[in-house]
Amino acid sequence: MNSSSATIYTAISFAPVQGFIEKSRKLRDLHGASLILSYLSSKLVEQALKQNFEVISPGLVNVKEGMPNRILIKGSTALNRDDVKNTLIAEWGAILDRCRLWVERRLDKEEYQWSQADNDKGIQKGEWERWKSYNWEVFWGHGSTVTAAMEDLETRKLKRDWIGINWVGESSSLSGTDAIAWPGLGQESNRPWEWSRHQDSVTQFYEQLASSLEQSADGNLLGNFLDPSERLSIPELVKRLITRYEDIGQHFGKDFRFDSLSEMVRLPQPNQPGHWTGWFMGDGDSVGDKLKELAKNPNDVQPLKTFSNAMRKWGQDFKHNFPKNLGRVIYAGGDDFLGVIYSKDPKAAIPENQALQWLMGLNQQWQAHGQPITLSVGFVWAGHSVPQRDVLQHCREAEKRAKTLGKNRVTIRVLFNSGQYVQWTCPWADLDILTKYRDRDGVNTQEEIRKGSEKRANWNHLYSDWATLKARHAIRLEANEEESVKNEVAIQIFDFYFDQAATRFTSERKWNDFIGNISERRERDLAIMNWMDDLIQVGWQLCRNSDR
């Protein structure tokens, strides 16, 4: 590159990323989606490097796993948008072709009509070819400074470049938004509304597919990839198939090796209670604003590189150093991550207290990247019968709630098998209030638990006292025009069980950190009592001494 040439910055992104992730209702799909997105991003970075562009962000370009989809490069010219789009379509198309051919070769008893026939090339696309051409939008912006390139990218995003794919038949059982993938998809018919006449063929196809996925070419069992009752769209099928590393996922190379999830306990074992599991989803706060701040100096891009390298390195360390006996991190792209806490022993669940203790140390782990970025997390402690698609949705909602209520905090949601839940949101700095519970005898029982004492915290006392006061209307959690709201009783009971915490929060003026800046006294008192009620509900579920 000619150093005397004018410098041009190019910002690149593609979509739908969030939608692609959110339509992943199974853990395996979620991981597959993460692999695909990282792989496509890494190919765009490779293309930029081959054309002698300097990659400013993302950092750690040699680490493909967890590669984000927003790319910033520097050169004497702008990277051609068509090159980006063609690379994306070609690499995504190679993934689709590999998956489709594997199915057709392993299940060779069907007459497949779901792909483009030879005599249709250049005239009519098949279903797989439509997904190849129209699944992604490419966004591209450029400018003489980093800020100008980013702003140009955001402006161009307002003009969408997207084509919807029409289909006839029944929708996927996972997302419900796209057609079921089966050999007859795309066939011509003068009675397309009579879907029921194809049900036997679809059932037979998915039974054969489920059986074939479970076994390797040499007959070894690989685990459960697909339930025969599931009905997947083409993208959902691809996300599931690429996790089969042995003969499909190798397309990604060693950087995208998939570890089996077959040891996960989600359903009740014979004569054993089902295990509860903990799911955590986190995201750095105001990262976009931080990037704009770092880009203010048009002559120095090193702060951006330093920030991106630090965040990506943290994500890699977090994933690979996660305690193996506690669960796994599904993906960690740097400032965003998702993981699950679960027991690999079908006879022994992970104790709630152990999961909670790990969560309390998470913010300290986060700060290891050394960047001035805070973290918001949604943590869901889920019953064994809750479908994973529902658990993931609750994770997203809990994380969103943590950000909405002020960021730099965690929302803990206990999700029951019925679908009901209790939740509590707290800044990281005050999360240790759960360890300061004092039983009626005044002993700090949570501390004794950590020291190995046989004595357990009896949260039943607090839970019972609080419930009794609510039943007698001494503590009210909703406004009542006939009576004034008073929180003195709630403050006293809270002080008694939590070592004068409510009084301390009042004197230190910390309530605004919990409930927001509410000036009206009546609304403020109600918000404080609701925050205490949420803590007690969640604390009783996670800290009391009981077996599930």
- pLDDT tens digits, the chain, 548 residues: what are they? 444 468 899 999 998 887 788 777 777 888 888 889 999 999 999 999 999 999 999 988 888 888 888 999 999 998 888 999 999 999 999 999 999 999 999 887 768 888 887 777 777 788 899 999 989 999 999 999 999 999 999 998 887 766 666 665 667 776 666 888 989 887 776 555 566 677 888 899 999 999 998 877 776 777 778 889 999 999 999 999 988 877 787 777 776 665 555 544 443 333 345 789 999 999 999 988 898 888 888 788 899 999 999 999 999 999 989 998 898 888 888 788 999 998 888 788 888 989 999 999 999 999 999 999 999 999 999 998 888 878 988 999 999 999 999 999 999 999 999 999 999 999 999 999 998 887 655 455 455 545 544 445 578 889 999 999 888 888 888 876 666 667 888 999 999 998 899 999 998 889 999 998 888 888 888 999 999 999 999 999 998 754 33
SS3 of residue 454 by DSSP: coil
Instruction: Decide: residue 213, CB within 10 A, 0-12 exposed, 13-18 middle, 19+ buried.
Output: buried
Parallel, antiparallel, or unpaired for β 71-75 and 54-57? antiparallel
The pLDDT score that the predictor gives to residue 482 is 62
Do 175 and 87 share a structural domain? yes
Last residue of a domain, one of 433, 465, 493: 433
Give the chain's radius of gyration (CA, Å).
27
The pLDDT score that the predictor gives to residue 5 is 62
User: Starting from the edge strand earliest in sequence, which strands make up the sheet with 277-284, in order?
Assistant: 327-332, 336-341, 277-284, 375-382, 409-415, 421-427
Q: Could you count the other beta carbons within 10 Å of the beta carbon of residue 350?
A: 22
The pLDDT score that the predictor gives to residue 162 is 66
Do the domain assignments include residue 3? Answer: no
Do 480 and 415 share a structural domain? no
Whole-angstrom Cα distance, residue 57 to residue 306? 9
Counting runs of H as helices and runs of E as strands, what totals does the chain give? 18, 10
Do the domain assignments include residue 424? Answer: yes
Instruction: Decide: residue 45, CB within 10 A, 0-12 exposed, 13-18 middle, 19+ buried.
Output: buried
Whole-angstrom Cα distance, residue 394 to residue 538? 15
Contacts of 428 (CB under 8 A, 6+ apart): 363, 375, 408, 409, 410
CA 163 vs CA 12, 19, 132: distances in Å: 20, 15, 12
Q: Could you count the other beta carbons within 10 Å of the beta carbon of residue 254?
A: 8
Which of the 8 DSSP states describes residue 181?
P
Which of the 8 DSSP states describes residue 81?
H
Helix runs in 215-243, H state only: 234-241
Do the domain assignments include residue 442? Answer: yes
Residue 371: domain span: 264-433
Do 230 and 339 share a structural domain? no
Which of the 8 DSSP states describes residue 166?
-
Contact status, residue 72 vs residue 91, Cβ threshold 8 Å: no
Do 272 and 150 share a structural domain? no
Whole-angstrom Cα distance, residue 391 to residue 388? 5
DSSP secondary structure string for all residues of 1-42: --TTSPPEEEEEEEE-SHHHHHT--SHHHHHHHHHHHHHHHH
Whole-angstrom Cα distance, residue 32 to residue 258? 9
Do 477 and 410 share a structural domain? no
Number of folded domains in the chain?
3
Q: Please, what is the angle between helix 488-497 and helix 521-543, to 10°? A: 30
Q: What is the pTM of this model?
A: 0.85
Do 358 and 444 share a structural domain? no
The pLDDT score that the predictor gives to residue 196 is 66
Which token pair is 236? 């959902």
Last residue of a domain, one of 211, 235, 256: 256
Do 95 and 217 share a structural domain? yes
Do the domain assignments include residue 191? Answer: yes
Q: Name the nearest CA neighbour of 337 among 311, 360, 372.
A: 311
Whole-angstrom Cα distance, residue 92 to residue 69? 14
Do 331 and 425 share a structural domain? yes
Q: What is the CATH number of the domain that holds 185?
A: 3.30.70.2220
Last residue of a domain, one of 398, 433, 468: 433
Instruction: Decide: residue 206, CB within 10 A, 0-12 exposed, 13-18 middle, 19+ buried.
Output: buried
Could you give the dihedral angle defined by the CA atoms of residues 218, 222, 225 and 229, in that order, rounded to the nearest 10 degrees? 70
Contact status, residue 149 vs residue 304, Cβ threshold 8 Å: no
Whole-angstrom Cα distance, residue 542 to residue 1? 59
Instruction: Decide: residue 302, CB within 10 A, 0-12 exposed, 13-18 middle, 19+ buried.
Output: exposed
Find the farthest-apart pair of alpha carbons in the chain and give their distance in angstroms, rounded.
Answer: 83
Do the domain assignments include residue 341? Answer: yes
CA 210 vs CA 1, 35, 174, 206, 220: distances in Å: 52, 22, 16, 6, 14
Whole-angstrom Cα distance, residue 388 to residue 354? 22
Do 211 and 130 share a structural domain? yes
Q: Could you count the other beta carbons within 10 Å of the beta carbon of residue 193?
A: 8
Category of 197 on φ-ψ map: left (φ > 0), alpha (ψ -120 to 50) or beta: alpha
SS3 of residue 377 by DSSP: strand
Do the domain assignments include residue 276? Answer: yes
CA 159 vs CA 13, 19, 139, 288: distances in Å: 14, 18, 9, 21
Whole-angstrom Cα distance, residue 533 to residue 448? 25
State in Å, rounded, how far the first CA of the chain is from the last one: 64
Do 38 and 26 share a structural domain? yes
Do the domain assignments include residue 1? Answer: no
Q: What is the CATH number of the domain that holds 372?
A: 3.30.70.270
Q: Scanning the structure block, which residue is given the tokens 């190919």? A: 43
Do 414 and 325 share a structural domain? yes
Do 374 and 461 share a structural domain? no
Whole-angstrom Cα distance, residue 101 to residue 46? 26
Do the domain assignments include residue 2? Answer: no
